[in-house]
A and B are shown apart, each in its own frame.
Chain A
Amino acid sequence: MSKRKPYTREMKSDWWLKDLFYSKYMLREGSSILITLYSLILAWGVFRLSQGEVAFNAWMEALQSPLSIILHIVALIFALYHSITWFSLAPKALDLWIKGKRVDDKIIVTGHYVAFAVISLFCLVSILI
């Protein structure tokens, strides 16, 4: 038996509240909860769709409730926060080299925002058609 008694530093579960950097990290991870909820709402919508027109329209009506509107506003804010953090991390994940030179981080991030704008516009237009 080893008589070694290693010192393990105490770590409380609220460690991430004490430093803004870590709080922002946990907010980013927390965005997952609302995005999960949104996916579940959509999954429920698919279920209601399979049940027929009356059921689907009831689902659409339920989305008009104040609670649903508030939930979607909060979810939208978190989803946008996820997008912003994802795009700012993109240069680290996407190590692009062109002609022996590393592509500038700013170009990659801007490229992501442009793609984001194009995709958003595309979705809006295709819904309206």
Chain B
Amino acid sequence: MNNKQIKNNEINNSSTKKYSRSHEPIFWGLFGAGGMLTAFFTPIMILITGLLIPLGIINADNLSYQKIYQFTGTWYGAAILFVLVALPLWHTLHRIFHSLHDLRIKRGRDWQQVLCYGFAFAVSVFVFTLLLQMLTL
């Protein structure tokens, strides 16, 4: 090989070098969006569905089957419900994954990651499928 060939090879090598992209930005984005949603919406949601209605302070008719079913049947209702139920999970499971490190649980770090994000993903798919079924177009 002459010098020119070597130089060419070097250029080729550097241009075909594979850079592995981190997938952290996707999870980080979902974490941020979920955190924002949770901060603004979760307290009032817990207050309404978990306390005011079960304790009878707000009449249960306000969250009746007919009312919710109608709302869920619309595409915007389904979308809102999907985001409110699933998005917080991408925030909380991200935090739980990193808390496992804080708690010095070192074994199977990659499996911890698969389980944490996999859990958020599984519940999201579960809710998404149900809502899709209930859409009345």
Residues on A facing B (Cβ under 8 Å): 11-13, 16, 26, 29-30, 32-33, 35-36, 38-43, 45-47, 49-50, 53, 56-57, 60, 63-64, 68-69, 71-73, 75-76, 79-80, 82-83, 86-87, 93, 112, 115-116, 119-120, 123-124, 127-128
For residue A57, which residues in chain B have a CB less than 8 angstroms away from its CB?
Answer: 65
**Across-interface contacts of B35 in A (CB, < 8 A):** 82, 86
- A56 CA / B48 CA spacing, docked (Å): 16
Contacting pair B44 A73 (CB below 8 A): no
User: B78: nearest residue on chain A (CB-CB)?
Assistant: A46
- Closest residue of chain A to B87, judged by CB? A39
Question: Is the beta-carbon distance between B39 and A83 smaller than 8 angstroms?
Answer: yes
Q: With an 8 A cutoff between CB atoms, is B112 at the interface?
A: no
B50 A76 Cβ-Cβ under 8 A: yes
Chain A interface main SS type: helix
Contact of A43 among B38, B46, B72, B85 (CB under 8 A): B85
Min CB distance A56 to B, Å, is 5
Contact present for A47 and B50 (CB under 8 Å): no
| B104:A63 contact, CB within 8 angstroms | no
Choose from B49, B93, B95, B134 the contact partner of A42 (Cβ within 8 Å): B49
CB distance from B82 to the nearest CB of A (A): 9
| B interface, over-half SS | helix
Contact of B58 with A127 in the complex, beta carbons under 8 Å: yes
Neighbouring B residues of A12 by C-beta, 8 Å? 104
Q: Counting CB contacts under 8 A, is B121 at the interface?
A: no
Tell whether, in the assembled complex, residue B46 and residue A38 are in contact, meaning their CB atoms are under 8 Å apart: yes
For B72, the closest partner residue in chain A by CB is A49
**A53 and B104 contacting across the interface, CB-CB below 8 Å:** no
A28: nearest chain-B partner, CB-CB: B95
Q: Inside 8 A of A63's CB, which chain B residues have their CB?
A: 49-50, 53-54
> Is B130 on the interface with A (CB-CB < 8 A)?
yes
* Nearest CB of chain B from residue A4's CB, rounded to whole Å: 22
**Mind listing 13 A-B residue pairs with CB under 8 Å?**
A36-B92, A38-B50, A39-B123, A42-B49, A49-B65, A50-B133, A60-B63, A79-B43, A83-B42, A86-B35, A93-B32, A112-B39, A119-B40
